[in-house]
Amino acid sequence: MRPDDSSCASDAIQPPPFSNLRINFSGQVYRHSFFWVFLFVLGLDVGKSERYACLLQVHGPGSLTLIGVVKAGAKTAKGHAQLLAGLTKSVAVRDDLSVVMESTRVSWERGAMTRHDAGDGVSVVNAAQMKFFAKRTLRSGKTDKLDAELIARSGAVMQPVCWLPPEAELIELRALLHARDTIVERLTLEAGRHHAVDHQHQPHPRAIGFCEARQKRLEQQLEEVNGAVQALVLGSEKRQEQVTLLASLPGIGPLTASILLVERMHLSRMESSNQWAASAGLSPVPRQSGSFPGRTRISKRGNGRLRRAFYRCALTASRMKNTFGDFYRHLIVQGKPKKVALIALARKLLRVAFAVLKSGQNFNPDDRRQPPVAA
């Protein structure tokens, strides 16, 4: 159902006995009991050049009807309209259509935006979830058509929450920061090539000149992208305030603050810092069974750019003479390995950054929480 559907107010708010309602970010209501809402699920397997779609009709828990699996057309609004027309020849799809797809690099973004603009509920799930769902159903074969059907069945069973598109300013800022990462990476590569060519037994002047010209061009591009990032941040009062808040923390500068914002665009919808830590892959994962103690690691499931940004911040903060530096040195004195201490410091910085953004107040090292007084 769509958020503006009148049936949401009359039917969904009055649940039958022993039902369990789940409300996702778009306002849609699903029931996890024998009183299910009539629903269609469209599973999209989005590849680099081809897409396959599978449409399922959900009658109730465990009751699914396969309507069809087809090869999709272009990743445009017209292509999606042709796709639905080909799948719905034998059945009329109502407004309660849920589209489910995997988050495979950037191939899914255009399709997700198109279906969201069309008013459908779009759910974007981690590819690892599809892998474990296939194991759960003992699925051994793998083709594009089978993947589309698997995605659709996963959406019908798991009922993932709806995806919401980020703000246009953050999308533009993320593109600039990713371009900057590419430039810095290539600049480092060219510096290594220049050093190798310069230290040959008989260095060729023209080869050295080519390396220097490439380095100069990359340095110019780095200055241009830095200026574009700064102009985009300064052009938004809200974004400038958020960057200022994050930059008040030790070890976080304006550029890193911008990276932290764009790599977790829906931060305002998170309820706790543990959710942000999980999305960055900094959540601890214990491995213990019986008498085997195992070793606790971080999950590393999530946004790698966000995790690396906090780790670099922890490297800087660990050298400072402040609360964060003292925390790092305290862990070292306790016998923790340096990398473990840095990971713990990175998670601590993440939690403090979350609190700073939520409260809207700059970081104050003298502001300490007082323990509750026992009654």
pLDDT in tens, 98-127: 889 888 777 788 878 887 887 778 888 888
Residue 99, SS3 per DSSP: strand
Name the 3-class secondary structure at 66: strand
168-235 under CATH 1.20.58, yes or no = no
Radius of gyration of the chain measured on its C-alpha atoms: 25
pTM of the predicted structure, to 2 decimals: 0.75
Cβ-Cβ contacts under 8 Å for 151 (sequence gap 6 or more): 43, 44, 45, 54, 100, 101, 102, 125, 130
Own/partner pairs, 74-81, CB within 8 angstroms, 24+ separation: 75/46, 75/51, 75/110, 75/111, 75/114, 76/110, 76/114, 77/114, 77/117, 77/118, 80/111, 80/114, 80/115, 80/118
- What's the mean per-residue pLDDT of the chain? 80
> SS3 for 41?
strand
Two tokens at 325? 């530096």
- Residue 182: pLDDT band (50, 70, 90) is very high
* pLDDT of 21 higher than 50: no
CA distance 162 to 268: 16
Cβ atoms 9, 34 nearer than 8 A? no
Residue 73 has pLDDT above 80, yes or no: no
Provide the pLDDT for residue 332.
94
CATH architecture of 6-158: 2-Layer Sandwich (3.30)
Evaluate if residue 33 carries a pLDDT over 50. Answer: no
| Extents of the domains making up the chain | 6-158, 168-235, 237-365
333-360 tens-digit pLDDT: 999 999 999 999 999 999 999 999 988 8
Nearest one of 187, 176, 255 to 220, comparing CA atoms? 187
Higher pLDDT, 87 or 282: 282
Q: pLDDT tens-digit profile of 234-258?
A: 888 888 999 999 999 999 999 999 9
| Phi, psi (degrees; rounded to nearest 5) at 230 | -65, -40
Of all residues in the chain, the percent with pLDDT exceeding 70 is 81
pLDDT above 90: residue 189: yes
Q: Lowest mean pLDDT: which of 81-90, 260-269, 287-296, 340-349?
A: 81-90
Q: Which helix (H) or strand (E) holds 58?
A: strand 51-60
**Weakest-pLDDT range from 17-31, 87-101, 168-182:** 17-31
Rounded CA separation 78/97 (Å) = 17
**Among 236, 246, 186, which Cα is nearest to 216's?**
186
